[in-house]
Amino acid sequence: MRSIRVVTGFLALTFVPSVLASDATSANRANASGTSQNAEFTTVVKITPLGSHDGEFCRFDRALLLEDPDGTRLLYDPGRTIAGPDDPRLGKIDAILVSHMHGDHVGDRHLPAVNAGECARPDFSVSAVPHTNSVSIALKKGAKIITGSEMPKFFAAKLKAKGGDPGLSQLVRFGASTKINGVSLTTVPAAHSNGIAGSMIGGELGALLDQSGLTAYAGPPTGYVVQFSNGLKLYLSGDTGITAEQKTVVNEFYGVHLVVMNIGDTFTTGPREAAYVVNELIRPAAVIASHANEQATENGEMLPGTRTAEFVQASSMPVHIPLSGNTMGFDGNGDCHAGCD
């Protein structure tokens, strides 16, 4: 079984100077090495999963906190595992990325507190509709919401309805890009659905949609390519099947180094399909598994017989397991320098 080691912080090296003159050269070399390594860790992109249960990869875990070396902090698909805008894990948020409008990604409800319920059945008893968890977090943090398709209009209306600035909802279309400080963002196609549930619309229109078994149109769903200031290029798949753009756009044009790949099956690529995407179409240096729709770990150890284990086995590059609260640090080539197994 693949062993997962939890690292709570980045490496720190301490050197004790020797009182012997003959050791001076060795001490200087050691100090120089330590300075170089510490400097290296200041240039990594930090990726912290914000799941439902500390130290585990659980059924509804989607949210990731992405921090650039310049301090820019992005929240990806807040979903249900962020315990509202006052979740102490959030800190400063500059922008929120929402791949599509399904409740487990935008946040139709959420935890009352981290670790509520069980890993396989988290307690999502707090309703976030009609405004959504993503909008509530953006208002609290003064963060932008950056989306593609027709989603920006929805978020702008929700921000305005709650007394916020609708201008914080910003559009980035396929083939275009926008910047948040030193971080460049673009949306890329995803093969999935993207309806807005009536409960998120609210009022008479929302009730009529629910009664009719319909959803509102939000345009195509998206993935993202995020380019960080240290050179790292990251693909966030969102919910998707296999697409031609994973090869032509994500690989051949952007040349991404690191992939966050949804593997949950039925609703998105399963482990076999996801492994084909990373092995044959994108070929990144490393992958972070996501959206497994299962309890994938227990006590931080990957469970055998899970979709996650199948994906790890089928992938030809390192697959990192997103244990909630565990910060991973990646250099500009997609190599992990801290917090990985």
> For the chain, what are the domain ranges?
41-338
Q: What is the mean pLDDT of residues 124-134?
A: 98
Residue 279 pLDDT: 98
Q: What is the mean pLDDT of the chain?
A: 90
One-letter amino acid at 42 equals T
CA distances from 317 to 214, 275, 276 (A): 41, 10, 12
Local structure of residue 160 (DSSP, 8 states) = H
Confidence of residue 40 (pLDDT cuts 50, 70, 90): low
Residue 175 pLDDT: 87
pLDDT beyond 50 at 59: yes
pLDDT digits (tens, 9 = 90+) for 233-291: 999 999 999 999 999 999 999 999 999 999 999 989 999 999 999 999 999 999 999 99
Nearest residue to 240 (alpha-carbon basis) of 217, 218, 265: 265
Q: What is the mean pLDDT of residues 3-7?
A: 40
- Tokens 């995020």 — which residue? 226
The pTM score is 0.88
Instruction: Report the DSSP pairing between strands 286-290 and 319-320.
Output: parallel
Q: What is the mean pLDDT of residues 193-209?
A: 96
Q: Which two tokens stand for residue 66?
A: 């992405």
pLDDT digits (tens, 9 = 90+) for 81-90: 999 999 999 9
CA distances from 294 to 7, 58, 60, 158, 308 (A): 23, 6, 7, 31, 9
Residue 27 pLDDT: 36
In terms of C-beta density within 10 A (0-12 exposed, 13-18 middle, 19 or more buried), how is residue 179 classed?
exposed
Domain 41-338 bears CATH identifier 3.60.15.10: yes
Confidence of residue 1 (pLDDT cuts 50, 70, 90): very low
